[in-house]
Amino acid sequence: MTEHAFHTEWIPLQNRFYRMAFYMLESEADAKDAVQELYLKLWNLRDHLEMVQNPSAYGTMLLKNLCIDRIRRARPTEEPDEAVALEAPPDEALENRERLKEVKAFIEDLPPTQKKLLQLRFFKGLTYEEIARKTGLSPLNIRVQVSLARKKLKQRL
């Protein structure tokens, strides 16, 4: 595929690809990066693009996979890892493991909203503003709910 053919066939789809990436990644910068990565991939595949029947569908499929890969790479673990409890000396490791089980059980007993907000804040590492965008709650309400959840956990521990 020539450079001119690439520009006339693929570049007009840029806005469609950006909207899809923004929908999946929920970030303007990440969406722009994903679209740029898509176009780099397409350019590297330009010799094979002449066989593509539907450029929009093909590009959408590639972009979807790129976005999913970005989401997977960016997502920290949702729950504390037991490996952290095992880093201590053997006698402390057993104690830490038991403590971790207690904390997990206490978190499970929290009201669903508090449990979700606590997990988003501490296990996924999101800021209050990011949580507000995901949940639709106000940052102030989130701070209060997270504070209440922490107080309940401290009382039980």
pLDDT at 37: 94
Predicted local distance difference test score (pLDDT) of residue 54? 93
Residue 81, Ramachandran bin (φ over 0: left; ψ between -120 and 50: alpha; else beta) = beta
Do both 115 and 59 map to the same domain? Answer: no
Is the domain of 88 the same as that of 152?
A: yes
Same domain as 97, residue 68: no
Does position 64 have pLDDT exceeding 70, yes or no? yes
In a shared domain, residues 88 and 54: no
58 and 94 assigned to the same domain? no
pLDDT by residue (tens digit) across 15-61?
Answer: 999 999 998 888 888 899 999 999 999 999 999 888 999 999 999 99
Above 70 in pLDDT, residue 86?
A: no
- pLDDT value for 84: 52
Nearest to 68 by CA among 134, 112, 21, 33: 21
The predicted-structure confidence for 89-148, as pLDDT tens digits, reads as follows 666 777 777 777 887 888 888 888 888 888 888 778 888 888 888 888 888 988 888 888
Tell me the C-alpha distance between 139 and 157, whole Å.
27
List alpha helices for the chain, DSSP H.
3-9, 14-25, 28-44, 55-74, 82-86, 90-109, 112-118, 128-135, 139-156
Which residues form the domain of 29? 3-74
- pTM here is 0.49
Q: Identify whether residues 22 and 47 lie together within a single domain.
A: yes
- The CATH number of the domain holding residue 37 is 1.10.1740
Domain boundary pick from 40, 74, 108: 74
How many structural domains does the chain have? 2
Alpha carbon of 152 to those of 80, 103, 122, 123, 148: distances in Å? 19, 11, 15, 17, 6
